Structure 1
Amino acid sequence: MDLLTPLYHTDKLHPHFKTITDGRKGRHYQREELLRWLEGFPDRDNKFVKEFQTTFNSSFWEIYLHATFRDYGFSFDWTHPAPDFLLTAGEVTFTVEATTANHAADATPEWGLGMTPEFYKDVDFNELNRVAIIRLANAFMSKSRKFDDKYAHHDHVKDRPFVLALAPFEQPGFQLQAFRPIEALLFDYYVDESEYIANPGRFPNGLEGKTLGSVQKDNGAEIELGFFDCPRFSHISAVVFSHLGTWGKVDAMSGCPTAIIRSIWSSPSGLEHVVSKGDECSEKITDGLRIYHNPYASIPLPLEVFRKEGVAQIWADPVERSLFSEEAENCLQSRTAMMFFTGKDKDFVETPSP
């Protein structure tokens, strides 16, 4: 499929698509990396190119997932139109439905504000996380209903783990949420960073988690947290999540020599800050990936399926109400990519799209 040749008037193109095809010198490093991710990905409904060029984020998330699953060596079965992925890993066959948390109809989209120093200075983490929880819950519930209404009766879905792949794109600065909102939504485990920043002396052992019980929407309705703390969503085996499966990962993996990549990694000894040039960055496609397992799943997803260095897997003991994890102290926590482009790259010829 030819993903990058504009098919529509510029007024209909998504701002991110216009950015990556703006012709600035060096931009081709990003496009080439994206096309590597795209290899082998079919346009099953002949709508994918349009959606990528006009709405972007949900299509980009699917491309990221495809590249990630390919990196794992999973086998793909494209004979069914839905859910989005039918995969086999060793002896385990499972389905994955991709979705994104998007902005509300009357809210500012994630591309609607510049990431200026003033923006970061004024961030209210609790409000940012509240909005994120609400929008993540909306996306989660929508796909949960879709499973019951459309997927559950299909033979290729029955008796197999069903996984929801969820990414946040719901507001400007969404990447700052890390994994606080998704863990609050699934396990009612919330880390209040604003509280810690305001009075770190109260927390001699560092950041601590707490329960919220619920969050309130703008209309006053309450969303009860802890979706994986009860059997209500037993049909969802796990959630695949990444706040770093964004265009910044393309930047980090593109090898662009003029890029500067700033990353924070967790380690047993604490957080490690790494700064590297784009052509020296070691970030992999799976870095930043997190798998949340449902302890009440009627068909659990084995931990072995996504077990990999740097991929955090989290699960709970429903009796003790305790969280457990692997690789959580050996993974990518955050990343900022700064790209420096000048002029136009008129002489560059794109590699043909797969």
Structure 2
Amino acid sequence: MGTDRVTVWDDLLTAHERAALAPGRPEDLDRTPDVLVVGGGVIGLMAAAFCLRRGFERVVLIERAPRLVPGASSGNGGAVAPDMHLLTDTPQFVAFGRKSRQLYLDLDAEWDGAIGLRRTRWLDIRAEVPRQLPAPLRALTADEVRDLEPDVRLPDGASAVLAEGQLAVHPGRLAAALAGKAGQVATGVGLLGVSMRGDRVAVAHTTAGDFAPGALVVATGLVPRPWHTGVPQRWVKGHMLAVAPGPWRLGSVLAGPYGGGSPLPGGGVVCGGTFDDDAGPDVRPEVADPMAKALATLLPGAAEVPISHRWCCFRPRIEGRQPVVDRLPGLDNAWFAGGHFTTGMMMAPATGAAVAEWIATGSAPPEVEGFSLPVSETCP
């Protein structure tokens, strides 16, 4: 029987990591920090960690939920694969993702492997492969795929695009490691509103009292009140699932229109995710289970193993499906970082580094100039 709501990552956490994700509220919260970060997802945690690395000694992060990464930051597939976006996104988007990939490698080396980073390769299986592929993507025939992955079977006429040198991360393990590098971290504390003095946030009002930060970073997925007016944004529900270990050897992430999944170190496979119309929090097996059937079209052995986990989460989508790294409208000392939709895990380090640099220098880093906050007269 499958485990609904509990992610496969939850079951792989140690007791120490679980404790790190639910620190509660410290008694000695710094009320005048250099930087106050609102939001304990992976974007907020990276922003706080990079602010410390940039030289801000007093950083406080608050998360309204009882634990860190309560949403898509802990329910995603853990992919860090910027080269897979070469055929779908802008050069700036890919460059930002590649910067994140390098930062992940740097952090994992510095922290002695604490974030659980893994090197991966991707096979994008499709009916037709573009004649010209940008490096380092490479086209493979069905025979070449069989040599690389003997247990994978391509549909008739299909071929694949290979992307080597990508990464994957355990989302919960990453968050637990970041929690120890993000300054003062408090869970169960939510933002109620702000008081302004001119073009600056003077006071942030929270459920744990007031803060007077030097800078405010809002990393709440979508833009919250009172800055949300005119921003075309919404939450998009998605289902994920994992299948139990089975009779196969799989070293590649399988992707593309036929379906696919990402191999876990223990032999299972994570599949996801869907784009659902309903806004309810319930897991719907009739939506999730077809992903397991699609995996079995490429990995036939998966047809004989049970689904071990089903869960769903909500992703923040802002118009354009691009990450947003920008000042909050009309404010000199407040920033928003969010709207990463399906790429929050991939883009988190570069986002955090950009926010920290912007706060420190007062100027937007060149790599985020295209990631400004969109505003329109109507919202979808």
TM range (shorter): under 0.3
Q: TM-score, normalised by structure 1?
A: 0.23
TM-score (norm 2): 0.22
Larger RCO (CA within 8 A; separation ≥ 6): 2
